[in-house]
Amino acid sequence: METPYLETLNQKPEHPVLEDIRSLASNLKIPIIQKDGMQLITQLLLISGARTVLELGGAIGYFAIFSTLNANVRVTSVEVDPRLMETAAQFAQTAEVASRIDFINADALKLEASAFREYDLLFIDAAKSQYQKFFTMYSGSVRKGGIIVSDNLLFRGHVEHPETIISRNRRQLVNKIRQYNTWLKEQPGFLTYFYEIGDGIAISIKE
């Protein structure tokens, strides 16, 4: 398959560990943010001058490692699955960025959100059905003028085209994502726009 034109323009030299992570994620069907979404967030980090990032749903470390390789940030990454977090830590060692990533093996919904300091950017990519709870709990951990990024808001096109869903459980999940999108759009104190990049991204600026 021919590479899309704009994608060819966006190809830049990168650390080989990033391709290794994408390959493992593909083989094991571990969901990670798509590359074009990660490129957009990297631009946000650089433009905003962000230094501290909180990630909910670290998986095997793609977001945290990509961020620390391409921007001058320190990332706190929360992941509930200890096996995924261990893999992420190994990749971070390989990429030589382990000293700039704090891995926390925990359910983000069971942590004391108020214990987290103010971050420049919050990345939400954990359990999709709980996005509203994550946003509500952790938006206070973002400084005024900071950024909250929510990923997977199109969920493989099903949110925009729910008629394509066969599974009842999948339909319930998609309905929750749709509800979150509507709720997020109307959140006071945040300026939010939605983008058809990757699997659908919302960028919310805390006013």
pLDDT of residue 159: 58
Instruction: Please answer whether residues 153 and 200 qualify as being in contact, where contact means their C-beta atoms are separated by less than 8 angstroms.
Output: yes
Which residues of the chain are modeled with pLDDT < 70? 1, 156-168, 170
Measure Cα distances from 183 to 132, 155, 195 in Å.
8, 17, 16
Please, which residues have CB within 8 angstroms of residue 199's CB and are 6 or more apart in sequence? 33, 34, 37, 151, 152, 153, 154, 155, 156
**DSSP per position, 22-54:** HHHHHHHT-----HHHHHHHHHHHHHHT--EEE
Pairing of strands 119-124, 52-56: parallel
pLDDT tens digit string along 10-31?
A: 888 999 999 999 999 999 999 9
* Domains annotated on the chain, with CATH: 15-206 (3.40.50.150)
CB atoms near residue 92 (< 10 Å): 23
pLDDT tens digit string along 115-143?
A: 998 999 999 999 999 999 999 999 999 99
